[in-house]
Structure 1
Amino acid sequence: MRAVTISEPGSPDVLGWSEVPDPVCGPGEVIVDVAATAVNRADLMQRQGFYPPPKGASEILGLECSGVISEVGEGVTGWSVGDEVCALLSGGGYAERVAVPAVQLLPRPAGVELATAAALPEVVCTVWSNVFMLAGLRRGDSFLVHGGSSGIGTMAIQLAARAGARVFTTAGTRAKLDVCRELGADVTINYRDEDFVEKVREATDGRGVDVILDNMGAKYLDRNIDALAVGGRLVVIGMQGGTKAELNLGKLLAKRAAVHATALRSRPATGPGGKAEIIEAVRRDVWPDVERGTIRPIVDRRLPMSRAAEAHRAVEASEHVGKVLLLPAD
């Protein structure tokens, strides 16, 4: 089969489209013939040599995909050859075929075209596990997501609005903020010329927000705590703004607040807190609204996998809104 390969850690130019060995279907796994995958920030970090795959995972980039099951491994029940699915991966999505633990599969949602479904697994599982299962966002809460026009952001806005939360978000252009409002954001903040802490305080009469989903890490840590309400929960899922910062415990104690930091890729497939647990919750609590069209994937563009370098440049430059998809066919 062909896959996107990395000649050495570096710029997008190190990405190629080459012949590699086919994946082997192990017990509890299926082989998916890939219709599409999607670009995630973690892929950019792995390409640069900063985010190696978990032990035992494919070295090939790609944390989600959609496609058709072509082989079913020993012990797998509930899935058959020919089923149209999308999947959460630990790696391997930038290829024509990928081996997937069956517990990480979701059925293609009715009404969503197969390739488009590749835009769903990573963002839905990330948002649902962190904002709802961990931080416990509920009706009447206030919620801030940074990077509202990203794949994670566009999904977080929709799911938080569906839950009855008041949604705040940041983005860097008027056009991106317009999209965020269309998706359900109540308060939009241009991070280039507005202070999100001031805007949050102004809009909440000084109270702050109950939950923050943050992709920036160190750069925003102190200001995120400033923006939290008493009893607030900050969930850090990215490190775009660095990995190390000073944490003022006095502020945290005064607000009786919590800081969580989580990763999805390194979770085990099964067991407490594993991917299977998240997949089950997503299928039960989110998938019906995806099928009804209430929650929808936002796709910016589609490119062939042979042009993965172009896709990485677009995501690095934040030129996109929602997800950038890669398809095996040229």
Structure 2
Amino acid sequence: MDAVVITKSGGPDVLQVRKRMIPTIGDYEVLVEVRAAGVNRPDVFQRKGNYPAPTGVVADIPGLEVAGIIVKVGSACCGIRIGDRVMALIAGGGYAQYVAVDFRLCIVLPDNLSFIEAAGMPETLFTVWHNVFERGRLIKGERFLIHGGAGGIGSTAIQLANLLGADVFTTVGSSEKISFVQELGASHIVNYKECDFEDVWSGIGIDVILDSIGGSYFEKNVNLLSEEGRLIIINAMQGAKVELNLIKMMHKRIHLTGSTLRNRSLEFKRQLTEAICQNVLPLIETGTYKTPIAEVFSYKDAGYAHELMESRAFNGKIILAF
């Protein structure tokens, strides 16, 4: 099969198409012929050598989400069959024509969902659902802030929070992105290059904040939180070392948490798959929730896809087509 391989740590040019053996599958796995794969920021970190694959996962083929057709089924699999159209969250190896997936992590696609749209869903849906609604316990009527609302995680978080009745706040980096996030359901928007979001929203009281920036955003987030507010950290692009005023945390009774997804157990991901099928799949089936697609590249042009990802000059998800 063809696979996009990280030939060495470095820039987008280190991604090269190479021939690899088609994966073998275990009893609880299916072989998926990949039709499309999502491009995510962790793929960029892995390419640069800053985010190694977990033990037992192919180390030099990035890719955390795929959509395709099942072409082989393990002996212990049930409720799924050859020919099924599926999307799946995986721990790596998605930039390839075939991938082995635990069958309990596969979600059968509704008829109205294309492979391109589906490939951009698993990583962001799993991340947002777990962090915002399970860890953050966001409920109807609460104020929710997501930084970087025009990206993959942001566009997912805005839609789900809005559909479930929250009042959505977000930050974006250009005036062109304001209308995009408004259409997704954001009601309060700040261009962080033009003004300080803390100054704009000071005193309002945000109930839940999902942050991937870290650095100087941390103190601002704490200041914006309401009493019993929840701050969830999923990345630290601006810096991982921050200062926390413990007195302020105690006075507001702030809940501070964070998580990563890739290295979580298979059992955890199986349970999260069930939660997505129960709570989000109905929204997908009716077309209420959709994946905004920024651009689709051939897998042979994965380097260009990574260049676009690093530029941040896009709205929604970047997809590789096979």
2:299 to 299, 305, 313: 305
1:263 aligns with 260
SS in 1 for 2:261: coil
Match of 2:270 among 268, 276, 279: 276
For 1:251 and 1:208, locate their aligned partners in 2 and report how far apart those are by CA, in whole Å: 14
In the TM superposition, what whole-angstrom CA distance separates every residue of 1:78-98 from its partner, at most 9, and x where no partner exists?
110100000001001100000
Match of 2:211 in 1: 214
* Cα distance between partner residues in 2 of 1:324 and 1:101: 24
SS in 1 for 2:247: helix
Alignment partners' CA distance in 2, 1:61 and 1:322 = 19
Give the Cα–Cα distance (whole angstroms) in 2 for the partners of residues 41 and 279 of structure 1.
21
1:103, 1:269 within 8 Å by CA — same for their partners in 2? no
| Greater CA drift, 42-51 or 237-246 | 237-246
Q: Which amino acid aligns with 2:174?
A: T
CA distance in 1, matches of 2:239, 2:40: 17
Aligned to 1:237: 234
State the match for 1:182 in structure 2: 183
What residue ranges of structure 2 are gaps of 5+ in the alignment?
none
Task: Report deviation, 1:115.
Answer: 2.4
Q: CA deviation at 1:327?
A: 1.2
Which of the numbers 215, 220, 223 marks the counterpart of 2:220? 223
Q: Distance in 1 between matches of 2:117 and 2:167?
A: 28
Counterpart for residue 21 of structure 1: 21
Query: Is this contact kept in 1: 2:296–2:319, CA < 8 A?
Result: yes
Measured after TM superposition, the shift of residue 219 of structure 1 is 3.4
Q: Could you tell me which amino acid in structure 2 is paired with residue 281 of structure 1?
A: A
Q: Following superposition of structure 1 onto structure 2, how do residues 138-157 of structure 1 map, counting pairs within 5 Å?
A: 138-157=139-158
Moved more, 138-147 or 69-78: 69-78
Matched residues in 1 for 2:204 and 2:115: separation? 43
1:77 counterpart SS class: coil
Is the Cα contact below 8 Å between 1:148 and 1:157 reproduced in 2?
A: yes
The alpha-carbon deviation at position 257 of structure 1 amounts to 0.4
Following superposition, the deviation at residue 122 of structure 1 comes to: 0.8
* SS class of match (2:194): coil
**Structure-to-structure mapping, 1:74-113, within 5 angstroms:** 74-113=75-114
Deviation at 1:275, TM superposition (A): 0.5
Compute the displacement of 1:218 (Å): 2.8
Q: Does the 8 A contact of 1:67 with 1:84 survive in 2?
A: yes
Listed one character per residue, the Cα deviations across residues 194-244 of structure 1 (whole Å, up to 9, x for unaligned) are 11112222xxxx141000011112331111111111100011111211221
State the 1:174 CA deviation.
1.1
Aligned partner of residue 126 in structure 1, secondary structure: helix
Q: 8 Å contact 2:131–2:258 — kept in the other structure?
A: no
Counterpart position of 2:58: 58
3-state SS of the aligned residue for 1:226? helix
The 5 Å alignment of 1:280-291 reads: 280-291=274-285
Point out the more displaced range, 300-309 or 100-109.
Answer: 100-109
Task: Report the Cα offset of residue 319 of structure 1.
Answer: 1.3
Amino acid at match of 2:178: L
1:128 equivalent in alignment to 2:129? yes
Give the distance between the partners of 1:109 and 1:250, measured in 2 at CA. 50
Correspondence for 1:9: 9
Stretch moving more, 44-53 or 240-249: 240-249
Q: Aligned partners of 1:74 and 1:256: how far apart in 2?
A: 51
Q: How many pairs align?
A: 321
- After superposition, the C-alpha distances for 1:285-306 in whole angstroms (9 at most, x for unaligned) are 0101111011111101100111
Which ranges of structure 1 fall in alignment gaps of 5 or more residues? none
Q: Is the Cα contact below 8 Å between 2:6 and 2:14 reproduced in 1?
A: yes
SS at structure 1 position matched to 2:216: helix
3-state SS, counterpart of residue 137 of structure 1:
coil
Contact 1:67/1:115 (8 A) holds in 2: no
CA distance in 2: counterparts of 1:163 and 1:260, whole angstroms: 22
Check conservation: 2:39, 2:319, Cα contact below 8 A: yes
Instruction: Name the residue aligned to 1:325.
Output: 319
**Is 1:109–1:117's contact at 8 Å kept on the other side of the alignment?**
no
How far apart are residue 6 of structure 1 and its match? Answer: 1.0
Q: Percent identity?
A: 41
